């Protein structure tokens, strides 16, 4: 085997290794961003929302915590017609068209679904009609 042929083989191996590393690193970055989280805290008869910008088509997790001394619920039409999972007190409920979840004082729930519809998504407490909040999902294309 000539010296030139050996160099070409090492160069090819280097390109393959670099490509594999780049694919692995991009996959790791995507895995870290695979789920978008929205924190909703119920406190003083208000919804306090903490979130980063929401993106269309990604799995979305809404974590709702009731820090009030009263029972509340978190309900929204944003879940209509899409597969949704609600977990509360160790019980998981799956379905399409789940409206929301009731939370006793100091309870929390986790709601999982894919954010598929852009727009303004209102949520409210049916027990206390003056309580409401919203999530805004804009469908914007990259420039």
Domains of the chain, by residue range, sit at 1-34, 36-137
pLDDT per residue as tens digits for the range 55-94: 888 899 999 999 999 999 999 988 888 899 999 998 889 9
**Cα–Cα distance measured from residue 32 to residue 58, given in angstroms and rounded to the nearest whole number:** 12
pLDDT per residue as tens digits for the range 83-117: 999 999 988 899 887 888 999 999 999 999 988 88
Strand order in the sheet with 46-51: 46-51, 36-43, 59-66, 108-114, 83-88, 91-96
Fold classification of 36-137 is Immunoglobulin-like (2.60.40)
Burial status of residue 49 (CB atoms within 10 A of its CB: 0-12, 13-18, 19 or more): middle
pLDDT at 125: 95
pLDDT at 62: 94
pLDDT at 24: 46
Strand partners of residue 51 = 38
**Cα–Cα distance measured from residue 135 to residue 8, given in angstroms and rounded to the nearest whole number:** 55
pTM above 0.75, yes or no: no
pLDDT at 81: 86
Mean pLDDT score of the chain: 80
């Amino acid at each position: 085997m000539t010296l030139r042929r050996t160099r070409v083989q090492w160069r090819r191996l280097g390109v393959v290794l670099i490509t594999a590393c780049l694919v692995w690193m991009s996959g790791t970055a995507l895995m870290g961003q695979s789920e978008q989280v929205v924190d909703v805290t119920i406190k003083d008869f208000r919804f306090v929302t903490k979130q980063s910008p929401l993106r269309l088509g990604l799995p979305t997790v809404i974590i709702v915590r009731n820090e009030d001394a009263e029972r509340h619920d978190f309900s929204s039409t944003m879940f209509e017609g899409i597969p949704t999972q609600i977990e509360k007190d160790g019980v998981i409920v799956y379905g399409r068209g789940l409206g929301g979840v009731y939370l006793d004082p100091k309870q929390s729930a986790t709601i999982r679904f894919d954010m598929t519809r852009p727009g303004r998504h209102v949520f409210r407490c049916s027990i206390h009609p003056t309580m409401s909040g919203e999530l805004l999902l804009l469908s914007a294309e990259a420039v």
